[in-house]
Amino acid sequence: MPSLIQTSTEVAEALATNQAVVALESTIITHGMPYPQNLETALRVEETVREQGAVPATIAMVDGIGRAGLVRAELETLAKLGPQVTKCSRRDIPYLISQKKHGATTVAATMILAAKAGISIFATGGIGGVHPGVADTWDISADLQELAQTNVAVVCAGAKSILDLPKTLEYLETVGVPVIGYQTEEFPAFFTRRSGLKVEINLNSPSDIARLLRAKWDFGLQGGVLVANPIPLASEPDYAHLEKAIKTAQAQAQEQRIQGKALTPFLLDRIEKETQGESLKANIQLVLNNARLAAKIARAYAQL
């Protein structure tokens, strides 16, 4: 068996010299956006992290090896293969290792590999959560259980209203995950800054967030932290239009009995097509915004 995780030379050096490193996921590349926007965005996100003085580490399974820090050709391969690449959450890791396959890591799997590589801060778009109709379907993303147990901070723009947001927040409360509103008192709902749901921890600076992370992990509390960073005002799309697309996508999923790991990618794809790229534009902007904040938090964290 090869070593558990292969870290690129650049990422390994940055970690060894206590420089800021930001983990990035790969399901967003393969299942979250179409080609070529997925590749362009992956590259821009890495560039944004660098502009803020941190080192990006895009995470994926490549030929069955967990990797932190991909080269451009590898990003290109994943972006072009898109949904043909296995969507890899916690439970898929052993299969992909033993079969030497590629895997696009979800928030959950990215957290696992980031923690193994020694990376504490991770930027993404939106997390998975509790789906509406959970009482019948039992569909709760493995991302939530991962946040409960793995020591990585996840910077996101909240979660899409494809999820039951109140139940998602209840779940996070039950499993003891601090949810931080960055410069907001409301939990943002991905495409919109508002959800009507309060977050109890409001922090206004990256260094305040870094100190909370230190406090949690120094105290020996296992698990992650969710940093909710609202989409920039200027990038907020017309929400009524999007909400309609989300409802349509959910109805189609029900009609076609889409379930399990296929559901979230199905909804994302349908919303993208229904809004003719309007959602994609906003999605790209909020991911860049999250990468910027994550890099600032990683720098503040490295200085503590």
Cβ partners under 8 Å of residue 21, min gap 6: 11, 14, 15, 54, 55, 56, 57, 119, 121, 298
Instruction: Compare residues 103 and 126 and give the one whose CB is closer to ligand PSU.
Output: 126
Polymer length of the chain: 304
Q: How many helices and strands (H and E) does the chain possess?
A: 13, 11
Q: Does position 107 bind ligand PSU by CB under 6 A?
A: yes
Let me know if 160 is a catalytic residue.
yes
Q: Which tokens sit at 19?
A: 């420089």
36: amino acid identity, one letter: P
Q: Does position 164 bind Mn ion by CB under 5 A?
A: no
Cβ partners under 8 Å of residue 89, min gap 6: 105, 106, 108, 109, 142, 143, 261
Let me know if 25 is a catalytic residue.
yes
The binding track of 154-193 with respect to ligand PSU, each residue x by CB under 6 A or -, is ------x---------------------------------
Catalytic residue among 87, 146, 160, 186: 160
Instruction: Compare residues 143 and 300 and give the one whose CB is closer to ligand PSU.
Output: 143
- Give the nearest distance from C-beta 219 to Mn ion in angstroms: 31
Phi, psi of 218 (to 5 degrees): -65, -30
Q: Does position 139 bind Mn ion by CB under 5 A?
A: yes
62-101: which residues touch ligand PSU (CB under 6 A)? 89
242: amino acid identity, one letter: L
Residue 105, strand partner residues: 88
CA 24 – CA 114 distance, rounded (Å): 9
The binding track of 254-283 with respect to ligand PSU, each residue x by CB under 6 A or -, is -------x--x---x---------------
What does 142 interact with, of Mn ion, ligand PSU, none (CB < 5 to 8 A by kind)? ligand PSU
Please tell me what DSSP assigns to residue 140: B
- Of 94, 56, 76, 156, the closest CA to residue 85 belongs to 76
- Give the nearest distance from C-beta 11 to ligand PSU in angstroms: 20
Stretch that binds Mn ion, among 1-9, 131-139, 189-197, 241-249 (CB under 5 A): 131-139
- Of 51, 46, 100, 99, the closest CA to residue 76 belongs to 46
Stretch that binds ligand PSU, among 11-19, 35-43, 124-132, 246-254 (CB under 6 A): 124-132
Q: Does position 143 bind ligand PSU by CB under 6 A?
A: yes
Assess contact for 125 and 283: CB atoms under 8 A: yes
The catalytic residue positions are 25, 160
Given the rule CB under 5 A, which residues bind Mn ion?
139
Given the rule CB under 6 A, which residues bind ligand PSU?
25, 27-28, 32, 89, 106-107, 125-128, 141-143, 160, 261, 264, 268
